[in-house]
Amino acid sequence: MSVAYEPIRHYREALAQGLKGSSGYSYPWLEKQRQVAASRFLHQSFPTRKDEDWRYSGIDRVLVHPFLPAGENVSTLTEEDLRHDVLYQLDAYHLVLINGIPVPALSRLDGLPAGVHIMGMREAMVQFPDLLAARLGKTGQDETQMFMLLNRALFDDGCLVYIEADCVIDKPIVLNHLTTGLPDNYMFLPRNLVVLGAGANAALIERFGSTGPSTCFNIVLTEISLEHGAVLDHYRIQEESRHTFHMSRVSLQQAARSRYEGTSITLGSAWSRTEFNARFDEQDAVCLTNGIYVVDDGQLMDFHVDIEHAVPSCVSRERFKGILLGKGRAVFDGHVKVLQDAQQTDAHLSNTNLLLEPGAEVDIKPQLEIYADDVKCSHGTSIAQLEPEQLFYLQSRGLDIKQAKQMLCLGFVSEVLETCKAQVVMEYVGSLLQREFLKLFSDG
């Protein structure tokens, strides 16, 4: 007799199975972290619509799939297969991860400057055990989020980017996360750690893509730690196939005078959720996060931003722009918390959306939670449609409706696009968006 599929039971079993597998490295601190996460997972349930944080996220769409952790990599992807990948051709340091596992044969890490370390997480466990013991799992709050617990309990690989104090890297770093070549219903659980020592400076591009149509689930946890005066430009480009499910968390911790500038581009996946959490540990740090999302019929894109100002004189800015088509759905939840001691905080949150069709929906929840009295905090959100007058102007100059829409949509997101400091990234994302709009509008 067959037993009806029940998500929580399936995932509990998957966790138990996964814990038995050997990861080839082991440290007491790590095993403890895994156990804590596993035990929490086993005692909790998946969130439902009744949980405020998941109210609009439609998590059932994910849970109906009986995803299982993938084992060793079986990919046969070659450099030749990546020949047309514009991003892969960038003059940069490339670490390619297939299904969450670094592939040295595809990576290009020769000639790294002294003090710059980029490698797979397994290798890092051998080369930098002390650094990992001190940093891994140390950013952010106590973990209770079910998918992140799965990652924390089961992660097997991922990558480390470690830039020592005062080192400046001459080229951008590309972490190219590709999913490919497996049958349906596997999940990947890469774990990434980025540490910039005092005064270090780097540009990091995290890219999520897929080369095949298999249904899979990417659960990615990236922790970033910026020490005194470190500067990181961080680009995240999610362009996975429409068969992919994507859950990622960026957990950022900033020391004094550090500066983080993040740009998040989300186009892909059937369902995706990104949680961006930042915490200022010391004064005079700056955190700027910008994002563009384009959500088509059948897609759901969920973005949760959580910024905590615990100390005085820090600056945070979030600016997200979304374009929705068909019955596409987006969720934007921006939460800025300013604690009592965080005087002279300067925080601004903005989210604007363009709904191109009547069936599209966006749920926006800006929240400012302020306990200090000498602060500058604001938020603004909006939902609009394309102006008929603007379309008419473009059409009266000979552009057809598709071109006109494409141009207006590019114009709408340009404000965010122009904040990309790396010219190569701006160009890549610009052409990516152009192609995406062309594809989306060519159906009518």
Partner 1 sequence: MLSIKGLKIAVENKIILHDLDLEVGAGEVHAIMGPNGSGKSTLAHVLAGRDGYDVTEGDIIYDGKNLLEMNVEQRARKGIFLAMQYPVELPGVSTLSFLKASVNAMRSSIGEQELDAVAFMKLIRSKAKLVGMDEDILKRPINTGFSGGEKKRNEIFQMALLEPRLAILDETDSGLDIDALRVVADGVNSLRADDRGMILITHYQRLLKYIEPDFVHVLAGGRIVKSGDKTLAQELENRGYSWLEAESAA
- Specify the residue for token string 């998500």: 7
Please choose, from the candidates 318, 253, 315, 251, the residue with its C-alpha nearest in 3D space to the C-alpha of residue 285: 315
CB-nearer residue toward partner 1: 5 or 393: 393
Q: What one-character DSSP code corresponds to residue 229? A: T
Report the alpha-carbon angle 77-82-88, nearest 5: 125
- Find the distance separating the first CA and the last CA of the chain, reported in whole Å: 49
For the record, the structure tokens of 352 come out as 């604007």
CB-nearer residue toward partner 1: 23 or 434: 434
H helix or E strand, kind and range, residue 133: helix 129-135
Site for partner 1 in 372-411 (CB under 8 A): 387-390, 392-401, 403, 407-408, 410-411
Does position 201 interact with partner 1 (CB under 8 A)? The reply is no
CB-nearer residue toward partner 1: 142 or 389: 389
Region binding partner 1 by CB under 8 A among candidate stretches 18-26, 234-242, 246-254, 413-421: 413-421
Does position 412 interact with partner 1 (CB under 8 A)? The reply is yes
CB-nearer residue toward partner 1: 76 or 442: 442
DSSP state letters, 308-343: EE-SSS-EEEEEEEEEE-TT-EEEEEEEEEE-TT-T
We find the least distance from the C-beta atom of residue 422 to partner 1, in angstroms, to be 20
Strands 116-120 and 158-163: antiparallel
Region binding partner 1 by CB under 8 A among candidate stretches 26-34, 328-336, 412-420, 436-444: 412-420
Does position 414 interact with partner 1 (CB under 8 A)? The reply is yes
CB-nearer residue toward partner 1: 309 or 321: 321
We find the least distance from the C-beta atom of residue 410 to partner 1, in angstroms, to be 7
Sign of CA dihedral 95, 246, 53, 145: negative
We find the least distance from the C-beta atom of residue 417 to partner 1, in angstroms, to be 9
Q: 82 to each of 20, 76, 97, 215, how far by Cα in Å?
A: 35, 12, 13, 21
We find the least distance from the C-beta atom of residue 420 to partner 1, in angstroms, to be 14
Residue 39 and residue 173 in contact, taking contact as beta carbons nearer than 8 Å: no
Report the alpha-carbon angle 260-262-267, nearest 5: 170
CB-nearer residue toward partner 1: 155 or 437: 437
We find the least distance from the C-beta atom of residue 318 to partner 1, in angstroms, to be 19
We find the least distance from the C-beta atom of residue 418 to partner 1, in angstroms, to be 9
Site map 330..369 versus partner 1, x via CB under 8 A: ----------------------------------------
Q: Would you call 372 helix, strand, or coil by DSSP?
A: coil
Please choose, from the candidates 103, 428, 112, 122, the residue with its C-alpha nearest in 3D space to the C-alpha of residue 292: 428
We find the least distance from the C-beta atom of residue 414 to partner 1, in angstroms, to be 4
CB-nearer residue toward partner 1: 159 or 294: 294
- Interface with partner 1: number of residues (CB under 8 A): 23
CB-nearer residue toward partner 1: 42 or 407: 407
Q: Would you call 282 helix, strand, or coil by DSSP?
A: coil
User: Given the rule CB under 8 A, which residues bind partner 1?
Assistant: 387-390, 392-401, 403, 407-408, 410-415
